Chain A
Amino acid sequence: MDKFLQIPIVQWIEYRLPIFSFMNESIVVYPTPRNLNYWWNFGSLAGIALSLQIVTGIVLAFHYTPQADLAFASVEHIMRDVNYGWLLRYAHANGGSMFFTVVFIHLFRGMYYGSYKAPREILWMLGVVILLMMMATAFMGYVLPWGQMSYWGATVITNMFTAFPLVGDWLTTLLWGGFVVDNPTLNRFFSLHYLMPFMIVGVVVVHLWALHVHKSNNPLGIDMKGPQDSLPFHPYYTIKDMFGLGVFLLVFAWLIFFAPNLLGEADNYIPANPLVTPPHIVPEWYFLPFYAILRAIPDKLLGVVGMFGATLILFALPWLDTCKVRSARFRPFFKMAFWLFVVDVFVLGWVGKNPPEGMFILIGRIASIYYFAHFLVILPLLGKFEPTRPLPESIGTPVLKGGGEMPSGAAAAKMEKS
């Protein structure tokens, strides 16, 4: 880096805009806990998934027509007549599922290792903002092909807004651009679907800004106390992230090339028809747990509040969990509660997929109550009564038993043996 900064043109730019030292500090020598495991790969994967969605989406928009009479046919035009159009569309449609998959794992990782705790509360809340914006973007994107499930999904979801007192009808008319889901709805959803990913990029930048203030949490959940606890981001985590990307792309490519319609609904290959309601209207898989909560509550307004509340409650997580110990490794009871919560979310997803009848109603209600009980009852109680295990002195201590070799890089020279 020092040699690089001696190059005259680099010096000239650096003096006016210190971008090279900024890059150096944020992705090269950036101190990263030396003990991050593979669960920490999913943040960078989420960024890459977002980028891939933007790139494929922009090219798809070259060929797509956001008009109710033409939208469905324009998607088929992309699939049949545009060079590699099938690849673009399948990559974009499955890319949404991949994006949600890595973001959900990223989120569960944050929960397990207490990454939301002080001083990372704002970092966490920005992540929840990104999740909410992703949900809105994905929902509107699913409407664009204007198939049966697009149309009826849009109808069901937008109708929920009528449940809000006073502003409900006004809000729904605003979403529709009329009095039913129709061409104006499609037009504005296309516009917003194109806009929101760039807004997400903006929040991601702030998310990274907040991250770089206090740096990454780690599996032990204790702070880095000195250079012996960290490694420079490059090359250690650049290569680890690259390897993770390879695994991610293998799963992604398998979906695109060998099971492109696995996660889609057959009904969406039928053009939208306002006169024919599909027998089962189901959202995309990543909404199913929330859909189950919506249907578990036998009151329209409360159901909608419950569904939105299920995501919004994540904003309060840093204050609902009062335990000072971050990582589940040192919280035996929290660890159990965490896994029960994961199981509960999967149960909700399974219930959301099935028609709301018979045992699914009861299971859905119990699972919904447990979902909120986890946040509102179990976490506060654990914070009060849970006996935690003793924390290690430092990150370096368990890693460098008896003093290991020095890491190469800038930090190495000053490092003490521990």
Chain B
Amino acid sequence: MRGLMGAAAAAIVFVGFAGSVTAAEGGYPKQNWSFDGVFGSFDRAALQRGFQVYQEVCAGCHGIKYIAFRNLTEIGLSEDQVKAIAAEYEVEDGPDDEGEMFERPAILSDIIPLPFANDNAARASNNGALPPDLSLMAKARPGGPDYLHALLIGYEDEPDDVTLNEGMSYNRYFSGNQIAMPPPLDDDAVEYSDGTAATVDQMSSDVVHFMMWAAEPKLEVRKRMGIKVMLFLLVLTALLYASKRKIWARVDH
């Protein structure tokens, strides 16, 4: 048994070491997210508000290319609602029988149309900076959702000893503090239909919630399955341990 504890401890030390050396540095306020923890799940109302913020504020510059309209049924919208949302967009399709490209309203299987035709067009419209795609943003920065939330509320006037480059804004959480994205959110930038007050902090939380879902859409099914798997393995391992004790009781060791 002592050996077992030692071996298990060694495994935990190894994995713990691996985890600690890969954990991100902090510096930004930690938020309480409903999707954190073993039982975590997405807040559907927050996801829908977050989608609204994305659609009305972010989507002007940032694409979210791994999300199709059909995926939006997962944030609690009905298929008819999503069809109506899709129909507001025009997308290019084709070629038709005459070999011509044509425009048509978007359908469920289309991805949410991108704001720019290509990276050069995006840079040309944004002072030379490239607004990154947001599909994976919540996993693509150390600190993840906490960092993104901090970034969105982190805009300030620059300190006296800092001279900003042209077109740049000061953000206390951005690496180097000079960020090409102008402050995207003001109070009441959107009007929530559920009556939630659209403060900068609220909109930031909501849109980050939405981005976390976009980056990790299988989070809920993963955690649900994980609980079942862990319970199964705990029972199995306990039975195996009991069997091992019983079999080894036949001999001195």
Q: Which A residues form the contact surface with B (CB < 8 A)?
A: 34-35, 37-39, 41-42, 73, 76, 79-80, 86-87, 90, 97, 101-102, 104-105, 108, 231, 235-236, 239-240, 242-251, 253-267, 269-270, 279, 285-286, 288, 346, 349-350, 353, 399-400, 404-408
Contact = CB atoms under 8 A, between A and B. Distances in A.
A266 B252 contact: no
B19 A251 contact: no
29 contacts: A76-B66, A76-B136, A80-B66, A80-B217, A97-B18, A101-B11, A101-B15, A101-B18, A102-B11, A105-B7, A235-B247, A236-B251, A240-B248, A243-B241, A244-B7, A246-B240, A249-B237, A251-B11, A253-B230, A255-B15, A256-B226, A257-B229, A263-B22, A266-B144, A269-B136, A269-B215, A353-B21, A405-B250, A408-B251
B148 to A, nearest CB: 11
B6 A269 contact: no
A261 B23 CA distance: 10
A267 B237 contact: no
A211 to B, nearest CB: 19
A235 B240 CA distance: 12
Nearest to B239: A246
A239 B243 contact: yes
A285 B21 contact: yes
B162 interface: no
B3 A39 contact: yes
B230 A265 contact: no
B151 to A, nearest CB: 14
Contact of A105 (B10, B140, B247): B10
Interface string B186-218: 000000000000000000000000000001011
B253 A35 contact: yes
B38 interface: yes
A407 B240 contact: no
A246 B236 contact: yes
Given A249-B237, A253-B233, 20 more contacts: A37-B7, A38-B7, A39-B7, A79-B218, A86-B218, A97-B18, A231-B251, A236-B251, A239-B248, A240-B248, A247-B237, A250-B234, A250-B237, A253-B230, A254-B230, A256-B226, A266-B141, A266-B142, A399-B253, A404-B251
Contact of A38 (B6, B136, B217, B223): B6
Given A239-B243, A239-B247, A34 B3 contact: no
B240 A262 contact: no
B102 interface: no
A76 B17 contact: no
A269 B140 contact: yes
A251 B240 contact: no
B8 interface: yes
A253 B229 contact: yes
B71 to A, nearest CB: 8
A311 to B, nearest CB: 18
Nearest to B242: A243
A239 B14 contact: no
Contact of A41 (B7, B66, B230, B252): B7
A105 B11 contact: yes
Nearest to A39: B7
A341 to B, nearest CB: 14
A269 B253 contact: no
A414 B119 CA distance: 80
Contacts of A35: 253
Interface residues of B, number: 53
Nearest to B250: A408
A253 B251 CA distance: 33
Contact of A350 (B21, B38, B144): B21
Nearest to B12: A251
B54 to A, nearest CB: 18
A404 B243 CA distance: 21
Nearest to B40: A258
A231 B12 CA distance: 30
Contacts of B175: 279
A76 B243 contact: no
Interface in B64-90: 66, 71
A261 B226 contact: no
Contact of A266 (B66, B140, B250): B140
B15 A258 contact: no
A259 B19 contact: yes
Interface in B114-167: 132, 135-136, 139-142, 144
Nearest to B141: A266
Interface string B1-42: 001101110111011011101111000000000000010000
A260 B229 CA distance: 15
Contacts of B217: 80
Contacts of A288: 21
Contact of A263 (B7, B19, B247): B19
A403 to B, nearest CB: 9
Contacts of A406: 251
Nearest to B1: A38
A325 to B, nearest CB: 20
A108 B71 CA distance: 48
Contacts of A264: 22
B67 to A, nearest CB: 9
Contacts of A244: 7
